[in-house]
Amino acid sequence: MKIWGKEIEYVCYGFESDPIEQICDRLDRQEFVEILKKMLVLNQDFRLTPLEGLEHKFVTMSHLHAYANTNYFRTGMKRMEVCVRRPTAVVNSSSQLFRGAAPATPIAQSTLPTVSCSKSIVESV
């Protein structure tokens, strides 16, 4: 089975027994396909950034707020709690594309290897 474009929205479709849950599932699949397409854009200038990904409807589940009383919504919100992380630092440098929270495990400057070149090597280049 070829999975490309809209076909992914219908893979294993219909596991939910409640019609409202089926609607939630369908809406969720549509947003999943949208975020997936944005993450897989080849041109990095147009690709979704990590922060934009965390703010996308699929992650925030804002597309399902009308169904907030459903089991589907409550279960999804519990699963997405891991994505809720407040930015601790915003990088404003144009050389860095990530705009958001600092890495969970920053690399200490002292752990990076240092390279020293002798004057004769530098002059020969």
| Higher per-residue pLDDT: 92 or 15 | 15
* Confidence check: pLDDT of 12 > 80: no
Q: Which residues contact 36 (CB under 8 A, 6 or more apart)?
A: 8
Domain membership of residue 113 (yes or no) is no
H or E element in which residue 32 lies: helix 19-39
Question: Tokens 């860095």 sit at which residue?
Answer: 96
pLDDT tens digits, 29-67: 999 999 999 999 999 999 999 999 989 999 899 999 999
pLDDT at res. 114: 55
* Total-model pTM: 0.56
In this structure, is residue 123 part of a structural domain? no
Flag whether 47 is in a domain: yes
Q: What is the mean pLDDT of residues 71-80?
A: 89
Q: Which of 13, 113, 24 is nearest to 69 (CA)?
A: 24
The predicted structure's pLDDT at residue 66: 94
Domain that holds residue 63: 1-87
**Residue 94: what pLDDT?**
45
pLDDT bin (cut points 50, 70, 90) of residue 122 is very low
User: How many domains would you assign to the chain?
Assistant: 1
Domain-located, residue 104: no
Q: Percent of the chain scored above 90 by pLDDT?
A: 42
Residue 6 is encoded by which pair of tokens? 């809209």
pLDDT interval class at 81 (50, 70, 90): confident
What is the DSSP-derived secondary structure letter of residue 7? G
Residue 106 lies in a domain: no
Q: Which two tokens stand for residue 26?
A: 């369908």
Examine residue 67 and state whether it is found in any structural domain, yes or no. Answer: yes
Does residue 10 belong to any structural domain of this protein? yes
Residue 92 lies in a domain: no
